[in-house]
Amino acid sequence: MKVLIVDDEEMIRNVLKEYVEFEGGEAYEAADGMQAVKMCRESDFDIILMDIMMPRLDGFSAVKEIKKSKNIPVIMLSARGEEYDKLFGFEIGADDYVTKPFSPKEVMARIHAVLKRYGEETVSDVVTFEGLTIDMAGRNVYVDGEKAELTPKEYEILFYFVKNRGIALTREKLLMDVWGFDFYGDDRTVDTHIKMLRSNLKQYRKFIVTLRGLGYKFEV
């Protein structure tokens, strides 16, 4: 397990590094977003712990840049716990969000949970539903032979739907399993992401069925 720890506070980096190494992992450090982007261009990591408020390049900007070329799972770290920050982090492809001050044990548990989800997705399989083709291992989606430009979160939602096709899924279940956190507040973020996903799937949006008053179901 190669973990890149990105935080401008050396003490936080040291504590997290100690826990990662205690569990047999390899820990690498970056003091700002710019350094993190450079390191990701030169090497591969299994997961990134990314602080938000940093000099030179903030965590949000760093994640957006990294996600352009690497599909590395990211857990955001921040002293700010506003809902907007969390939703924006998930919009740009973050997999989880931990608010400071945090327990290092909790962070390690989040790391294992995110890596477990990614591990479950690593299957050499291609599924096709009429003209919709989903390449699981390559994380690519094709609509009538043309590659669909999905965001990381849209892909995760679609993959989750395919794995659970035919099963009624509540919005709360989608938030817990796809976003990976307890969401307290409205669940419009699910509807917004699914609206965008449907748009990208074009005529095959028909496979995502709305269950009034409940949630959604992937039905073929």
Least confident of 23-32, 137-146, 185-194: 185-194
Q: How confident is the model at residue 120 (pLDDT cuts 50, 70, 90)?
A: low
| pLDDT at residue number 220 | 84
In the chain, how many H helices and how many E strands?
Answer: 8, 12
Please name the residues in contact with 113: beta carbons below 8 A apart, sequence gap of 6 or more: 96, 180
Using DSSP bridges, classify how beta strands 140-143 and 208-211 pair: parallel, antiparallel or unpaired.
Answer: unpaired
Closest by Cα among 17, 54, 12 to 36: 54
Quote the mean pLDDT of the chain.
Answer: 87
Q: Is the pLDDT of residue 81 over 80?
A: no
Q: Is the pLDDT of residue 40 over 90?
A: yes
Tell me the C-alpha distance between 192 and 59, whole Å.
24
Compute and round to an integer the Cα radius of gyration of the chain.
18
Q: How confident is the model at residue 123 (pLDDT cuts 50, 70, 90)?
A: very low
Least confident of 36-40, 98-102, 143-147: 98-102
Domains in the chain, CATH or no CATH each: 2-120 (3.40.50.2300), 123-218 (1.10.10.10)
115-120: long-range contacts, CB 8 A cutoff, minimum separation 24: 115/1, 115/46, 115/47, 115/73, 117/73, 117/180, 118/73
